[in-house]
Amino acid sequence: MVESRRTRKKHELRERILEVAIRQVGERGLAATTVGSIAEEVDISQTTFFNYFPSKAVLVEAVIGRLSDLLGTVLADVGSGDEPAADKVLKLFEFAASLTTTQHRVLRDIVIEVVHESTLSERPSGNLSALHESYRTVLADGQRAGEIRVDLDATILADVVIGMFTSVFTNWADDVAYPISDRLNTFGKLAVELVARGA
């Protein structure tokens, strides 16, 4: 009983550290978020912090993992519902465009870390695979409903859609002035034209 309580308390403190880190990254960006600022807000020593996250790089991995899990789930959910498959494809791009407007700093910092930082031991590729599978299913359903072109397999069409989607973020990571929101909206319309029946 004592051990389980101790384990629960440790888990709660780790979650609190992560929660504060995510909020600070959203407000300040990754570079300006420090171990000291997180430890101070959580009201722990830096030594205690390092018992949970041995380095800032490990914390960054945890932040990226948590946020990419949430983002992946939300983006996959965008593909659910009863609307036509082409509308779901467009919604993916439009929803991401709205996120880049409201969560610009934290999203760009995460994209930069994922694209450029070799220190990350595990990139959140699982979420990308889940997003791809979600849209492969959307497109396959659209083919059966006669909404989506059938001359190409749904897997290839999903490759095209998700490839276009991720390329916009890769460009954004390389250029702070890249018009991410406009490009997402433009690429979304182009993706619909490419996958729609009669294309």
Residue 112: how many CB atoms within 10 A of its CB?
18
Which residue's entry shows tokens 């993706």? 191
pLDDT at 157: 96
pLDDT at 127: 62
pLDDT at 121: 45
pLDDT at 145: 93
Single pTM value for the model: 0.69
The rounded distance, in Å, linking the Cα atoms of 179 and 192 is: 20
The rounded distance, in Å, linking the Cα atoms of 187 and 199 is: 15
The rounded distance, in Å, linking the Cα atoms of 115 and 27 is: 21
pLDDT at 23: 85
pLDDT at 131: 81
Rounded average pLDDT per 10-residue block, the chain, 199 residues: 78 93 81 90 95 89 75 71 89 87 72 60 59 90 95 96 91 89 95 86
Contact 158, 132 (CB under 8 A): yes
Six-digit token pair at 71? 């983002």
141 burial (CB, 10 Å; 0-12 / 13-18 / 19+) is middle
